[in-house]
Amino acid sequence: MIAATASRLRCRLSFAGRRILAFLLAALLALPAGPVEARSRIKDIADFEGVRQNMLVGYGLVIGLNATGDTLNRSGFTQQSLIGMLERLGVNTRDISSTVNTRNVAAVMVTATLPAFARQGTRIDVSVGALGDASSLLGGTLLVTPLLGADGEVYTVAQGPIAVSGFSASGGGQSVTKGIPTAGRIANGGIVERELGFQLASLRSVNISLRNPDLTTARRIAQAINTALGTATARPVDPGTVLLSLPENRQNDVVSLLTDIEQLTVEPDSIAKVVIDERSGTIVMGESVRISTVAIAQGNLTIRITETPQVSQPNAFSSTGTTTTVNRTNIEIDENNQRRLAVLPGSVTLQELVNGLNALGIGPRDMIAILQAIKAAGALQAEIEVL
């Protein structure tokens, strides 16, 4: 009886194992065939209308510096600001305005970024930078400074001690400077005083703006949204905009709808482009870069001139002759005669193109000239952008 029970148990386990195996095979077949790494969330490649930041700027005074502030007789705006501030506080400076000569005050520009939908009373970080000839803002305190938006309205008021990461020290014959002592930051130093009048929940349609405009990507975003919602509510308007018309059953739930949409994944597309920075010799090529069949030869004429001055002097105890310097010049010419033509077949991949150019033994700056020559010959199927 024990043997029969064990046999039935093995049969049940075998049947369960087959079911688990069939389930795993079905799950593997259901996985997408394309590379998952190539897909990106809509949240990472596009922005929603109204969900944006705003730049703020203001002018203020920093006090409490250890004789590292502005020179008042050289920075007239700092002196006028100091006198104006004292007048507003009830201090009469009419008789002593010409004798005010302190180095503990500096004029600064204050900048900040107002987050989207920041409410009144919210604190934000602000950045401070010296405007005059102050040498350091270390230990300084920013006085109340209103920060203005592009419309001239005050949205934030900033004040507080400045945190400076750099420092400067000097002596009679040497000075040391680390970082930028004339710029700093005030964590949570700004208080939002004015809110932006944008109501996201009242929208009936939303524009989705692509960060890298592309027709194919815009259509893929619209298709992904329509598939997820089960209705044709999104359509591409231009390469940089997808218009989303809110469904009737989601018009009172805009935030939740946009949250679901921004988590959808699409595969962004881009044009074939080669970006060149001639100043640093940097080359960046996209995956879609292709070239037609072309032969490349590269060679540079290098002339190396070496100067080796030598001292010529008369013999010991000689009554004639003087010590003089004689130049010895050595000139070497390298024509790179070992360089040969290299043939790159048509429709090569990016890796094959890089390997072919590297096989010529050339550097980045010579590679820039080669890429531009290939483009001029009409063999480079990509756009070249020079920074």
pLDDT string in tens for the chain (387-residue length): 444 444 443 444 354 445 544 444 444 444 444 444 578 899 899 998 888 889 999 999 999 998 888 888 888 888 888 888 888 888 887 766 666 778 899 999 999 999 988 899 999 999 999 998 898 999 999 999 999 998 999 999 999 999 998 766 666 666 777 778 899 999 999 999 998 877 777 788 889 999 989 999 999 999 999 999 888 899 999 999 999 998 888 878 888 888 889 999 999 988 888 888 877 777 887 777 777 776 766 665 444 556 566 767 777 666 666 777 766 666 565 555 555 555 556 556 666 666 666 766 667 777 777 778 878 877 777 888 887
Q: Are residues 289 and 238 in the same domain?
A: no
Compute the distance between CA of residue 182 and CA of residue 132 in angstroms, rounded to an integer.
10
User: Domain for residue 319, yes or no?
Assistant: no
Half-sphere exposure (CA, 13 Å, Cβ side) for 299?
Answer: 12
248: three-class secondary structure by DSSP: helix
Q: Are residues 139 and 229 in the same domain?
A: no
User: Domain for residue 42, yes or no?
Assistant: no
User: Domain for residue 7, yes or no?
Assistant: no
CB 293 within 8 A of CB 379: yes
CB 327 within 8 A of CB 309: yes
pLDDT for residue 383: 81
Q: Are residues 185 and 66 in the same domain?
A: yes
Burial of 70 (0-12, 13-18, 19+ CB in 10 A): buried
- The torsion of the CA quartet 206, 207, 210, 211, rounded to 10 degrees, works out to -90
User: Domain for residue 3, yes or no?
Assistant: no
CB 191 within 8 A of CB 156: yes
User: Domain for residue 318, yes or no?
Assistant: no
CB 59 within 8 A of CB 107: yes
Q: Which of 183, 186, 71, 219 is nearest to 132 (CA)?
A: 71
Distances (CA, A) of 297 to 88, 341, 366, 367: 74, 4, 11, 11
Angle value at C-alpha 18, between 17 and 21, nearest 5 degrees: 85
- The torsion of the CA quartet 270, 274, 276, 281, rounded to 10 degrees, works out to 120
Residue range(s) defining the domain that contains residue 226: 200-266
User: Domain for residue 16, yes or no?
Assistant: no
CATH number of the domain where residue 205 is located: 3.30.70
Q: Are residues 222 and 303 in the same domain?
A: no
pLDDT for residue 26: 47
Compute the distance between CA of residue 65 and CA of residue 142 in angstroms, rounded to an integer.
11
Q: Are residues 262 and 302 in the same domain?
A: no
Q: Are residues 241 and 118 in the same domain?
A: no
Burial of 214 (0-12, 13-18, 19+ CB in 10 A): middle
Q: Are residues 255 and 279 in the same domain?
A: no
Q: Are residues 98 and 188 in the same domain?
A: yes
User: Domain for residue 88, yes or no?
Assistant: yes
CB 66 within 8 A of CB 104: yes
Work out how many domains the chain is built from and give that number. Answer: 3
Segment holding 186, helix H or strand E: strand 183-192
pLDDT for residue 21: 43
360: three-class secondary structure by DSSP: coil
Q: Are residues 72 and 135 in the same domain?
A: yes
Q: Are residues 121 and 208 in the same domain?
A: no
Compute the distance between CA of residue 27 and CA of residue 22 in angstroms, rounded to an integer.
9
Q: Are residues 342 and 372 in the same domain?
A: yes
CB 382 within 8 A of CB 290: yes
Compute the distance between CA of residue 299 and CA of residue 292 in angstroms, rounded to an integer.
22
Compute the distance between CA of residue 267 and CA of residue 262 in angstroms, rounded to an integer.
14
CB 49 within 8 A of CB 203: yes
Compute the distance between CA of residue 73 and CA of residue 40 in angstroms, rounded to an integer.
57
DSSP, residue by residue, 120-189: TT-EEEEEEEE-SS-S--TT-EEEEEEEE-TTS-EEEEEEEEPB---EEEE-SS-EEEES-TTEEEEEEE
Q: Are residues 288 and 331 in the same domain?
A: yes
User: Domain for residue 382, yes or no?
Assistant: yes
